[in-house]
A and B are shown apart, each in its own frame.
Chain A
């Protein structure tokens, strides 16, 4: 069950990004009011603002944490055409007693001539690297050769994507079988250009990043893009926020060891949801990449989950202010038609066909029971995608409904 805990952010303008740190105990927010705030979770789960400072002279679009191995380091990027790297300073005990911490600017990256729209640290195994992308369509990759010295960054790569860039995501895979790879999304609104998501891969031989793939099916402005945590997969999963939510699977084709070109990918569209009925602004994966959250102009967060057949479904809707959702925005969509396909087991027969209409079909026989425990709408906060409210069916599933607490979403259970 989700409990909405509202935080008085006290930003003076729109908040554009929220970012958790590696361990999930700190949070950074950035806003158009040109400031970044850092929030720390206290013992009792409350979030306290421990730092708030002016970072840029324009809207701060994104903020991101470095791996803690490099210290408590943040990077931010802004409309003012710069990206900046910040480090928390330990000391000043009186500051600490007041629950405040001090962040100082380690560097400003001024290479862009237009708004810097996204900033991301590369996966840790690549060292301390920072990537920015800007509205003029240039992706820049910086490296701090000395991880102890955060004020020196050298521009390693400059990649022109031709289209105005809005977001960037690194493939987090640490496998040596996967060369460094990132995806760039463009918010160019001209649909005729097509291919708003480009994937670049590092080529060991040329020591350059080359375009490996363009997702030609994404023709509308892309607002956010996120590779799923890899966790030992052989393929890559990419979520895209455009006018709808899309999930792509990139399966590297087996390539001959002699070929030097970029890896060829088999690109599969795994899912496409227009439930938001509006622009989708953000997508975010959970840590095991079993759950995708998306947020759109409808002000809702929708959660998506795949069953073992790789059918993705909406498993919950969270309303930003915790108020109940009106029925109109939760209508079922085409994707609910896949429900029937995986329903063939004896368990299902037990539950009766009515179960198939509900949002959690029994995905696999041994676990269907536990899943049904989640079927109840636990509170007004959470509604299911189905248009009709889901009623518990005591005659069909009495013991199961009572057996467990009411998670809106079951944990991964290895599925």
Chain B
């Protein structure tokens, strides 16, 4: 069957003639019908009844059947049908209940032939028998179907469907005596024309009215029905019970359905309202129209294939008063515009990808065998028309996951969690963060932190810095530099452990530091390299190894001036006591002075302490005058913008917070706010609520800090009497019980209290978690299935 039709297609494809064209009608059309040889089409409507000739380039009006001065309701057609055997014979169904036949062979202007006025209400449908010349069937709103013999004046039989109005009647193509009728209550009935007393078979096809039905032109058992429930269903009538074999869901109620000639699985539909398009469906792929004709501007009322063996032309009439001939190759194909792929990046860098299976299957790239099917000689092989292929397709969904070790967004989460943003002196924060970055293998970020520390650790805005003092401070720069780099490069493990173990106590030490250094300075002037030991005693045994080293070294290098500097330091460094000398690192780089390059290299090459000492002696005299920290601000600002623009807003915000006032004024508030917002949004995506809160808290933008001040009201119910607690505190007004008793251990909860919003019972977070591991019910015994999210 398929093969046969393909051959016909091949043949007829050579003879396709005509084009998509239309003509204006005088009035909206209700129905159209085409004569057997596809040369003429009749258009019928409430105010129109005309015959048009179908020519190559245009429609030509042939005949107007509305004649006579008196407008007759008989002309007001709900349906029209051209006889497929007798080319002069037409029948119309009038809205006043009349069934009229027309004989085009009549010599007079009025072609009206017979008039049957037996129906009480509008006749919805007329249908000629496909082979019998004189047999006409009608279906009416009054619920009756009548069969007429055109040689007689009256109907020969009346069929009572007894299921409300008849919407459509269709003779079977193959079974001589059978016709189908569809009803407004959703039923479809099968009748034998010889037995008007009772239907052969009835089944409920749709919910709501069945507006149309159509027998398959080739397959005797298939009946397509369309209804207000927006469905088209195909029924196999050969079995005892009508079996639904295909179902097409359309987007609007289905007014007409017509099988496409020569295409076993195709049918065309149009809608009764809302939707003006004509769809051609492949019932095997019922979700997406195979083709769409979108020309009409109003509801399409009639569709008919131009020729019963030509699948390429479809005629349609519409309420927009146009008659169209659609050429199939001009149809839009929704599936061409339909996206065959979906792609989305997940939060953690995994990638979800759905694609049409044929696109991704490995043999998609394989060239089809040139000869095609071997059963046929190569010259007989006709490739099926690709535009007519519309087989069932499906998509494959897969997720590309980054494997756990190298989970690509881990660095973000870890960094967010490990960074310290406050609570320690600036230099330590920088060091810590540099180490975090280093451990996560982000050397550039790490270096940035280190450089920040160097740039800003000096209380650079000293108002009256003595020249010598400055010199000495600056002199330590390369040392610091090399030291910290060394620490990061090699001694990471021990140092970080130390750092952590010191924890809070470290802060205390820091406060003592100026004094310490003062003392150490005075007392241990002659110490060369072991300054840290001496210091350690003063620092209550804390084995501080890194920064204190520097201090001691620094003091060693200059002994006399220290006393001038100290008082100033003591007052000025209230906040950042641990601050270290500022380092004109960038200045060096910018100027590219040769002596200073050594300091730069120190970063990379990890000088040993001894080397760095020697470095000091070289570079010390060469230091330029003191540079305030503000000198670096433009550079830092640029750097922050750079990070932000590279997608690392984390770095921008972290530096912003750590630097605090040092940089804040340099960056306009909008930008800061933008960074904060972006970072907080990211943190919340990763559900890093604590970090996000910390950032909000530490931010200096008013717009950000107020984020924490919204939705801070809690409404609580007493866990005993279930009534809202009005008073302050945890004693209920009404039952005078303490509401915050843990339902598990029955003690008053202090600290974190978690409770179910459904039954108000709760308790210690830990207890509740343990309880819910074993039971879904409330520990208080109230029987509630508690929900904690």
Contact = CB atoms under 8 A, between A and B. Distances in A.
Given A321-B396, A413-B442, A20 B685 contact: no
Contacts of B649: 231-232
A17 interface: yes
Given A61-B339, A81-B251, A287 B345 contact: yes
Contacts of B345: 20, 284-287, 291, 293
B393 A7 contact: no
Given A90-B787, A299-B355, A411 B444 contact: no
B347 A23 contact: yes
Interface stretch (A26-34, A148-156, A354-362): A26-34
Contact of A318 (B250, B400, B646, B647): B400
Nearest to A173: B674
Given A9-B354, A29-B354, A187-B337, A3 B401 contact: yes
Contacts of A25: 347
B714 to A, nearest CB: 18
Contacts of A405: 405-406
B448 to A, nearest CB: 8
Contacts of B443: 366-367, 370
A231 B644 contact: yes
A18 B342 contact: yes
Contact of A411 (B398, B411, B677, B679): B411
A4 B398 contact: yes
B677 A294 contact: no
Interface stretch (A254-262, A265-273, A322-330, A383-391): A322-330
A364 B409 contact: no
Interface string A10-26: 01111111111011110
A367 B447 CA distance: 12
Most buried by A among B361, B405, B442, B679: B442
Contact of B251 (A80, A282, A321): A80
Contact of B445 (A18, A230, A414): A414
Interface in B335-361: 337-356, 359-361
Q: Is the interface of A mostly helix, strand, loop or mixed?
A: loop
B365 A9 contact: no
A194 interface: no
Contacts of A2: 351, 400-403
A391 B248 CA distance: 54
A232 B652 contact: yes
A320 B288 contact: no
Contacts of A187: 337
A174 B677 contact: yes
A329 B403 CA distance: 26
A160 interface: no
A394 interface: no
A57 interface: yes
B687 interface: yes
Interface in A74-99: 79-81, 90, 93
A367 B437 CA distance: 13
27 contacts: A4-B398, A13-B285, A14-B339, A14-B356, A15-B342, A19-B342, A20-B347, A24-B685, A27-B344, A33-B287, A57-B249, A59-B338, A175-B671, A177-B674, A232-B653, A281-B339, A282-B343, A283-B343, A288-B648, A296-B341, A297-B340, A308-B646, A320-B355, A322-B398, A407-B408, A411-B408, A414-B646
Interface of A: 1-9, 11-20, 22-25, 27, 29-34, 45, 47, 57-59, 61, 79-81, 90, 93, 115, 124-125, 166, 173-177, 187, 223-224, 229-235, 281-291, 293-299, 301, 308, 318-323, 326, 328-329, 364, 366-367, 370, 404-407, 409, 411-415
Interface of B: 230, 249-251, 285, 287-288, 334, 337-356, 359-362, 364-365, 392-403, 405-406, 408-412, 441-445, 447-448, 641, 643-649, 651-653, 670-671, 673-675, 677-679, 681-682, 685-687, 776, 785, 787
